[in-house]
Structure 1
Amino acid sequence: MAESLGISPAAYAAGAIRRVVESEAELAAFAQVGIDELDRGEFIPHDVVMAELDAMIAKHEARCRA
C-alpha cells in the first residue's frame, strides 16, 4: 500500500497509527458526552423508549394493514 501511495512503509505505518489514535480519541470524547449527560440526569429511561417504539411500530403496522 505504501508503495502505491508513493510513501515509505514507515510513513504509511505512522499515518495508520495516527488515524487509529485520532479515532480512539474521538470515540472517547463522544462517549464522555453521553456519560456527562447521564451524570446530569439527561436521559430517557429504557422502558419509556421501548414504549414509544412499540407505539410507533403498532401505528405503522395498522397503517400497512389498512
Structure 2
Amino acid sequence: MTRWGVTDNPEAAYEMMDGWIEAQPSGIEGRRQMPHFTMTEEDKRGLAEFLRWTDQTDTLGWPPNDAG
C-alpha cells in the first residue's frame, strides 16, 4: 500500500485493489495466468484493509528497499 501511496486512504486502497484485480491478464498465450478472482466488493474491501493494516507492521527494516 505504501508503494501505491494509499496507506492513509481506505477508499483509494480499495479502488487500487479492485483495479489491479480486474486488470490481471487471462487467456493470453505465452503469459503466466493469474487465477480468476471471484470476490465480492466486500471481499475486496476487506483485502485492501488487511493489506493496509499489514503495511503498518514493523518489519525491522526489511525489505531493504521499496522494490522488495
Q: Which has the higher helix share?
A: 1
TM-score above 0.5: no
TM-score, structure 2 length as denominator? 0.32
Provide the TM-score with structure 1 as the length reference. Answer: 0.33
Structure whose alpha-carbon radius of gyration is higher: 1
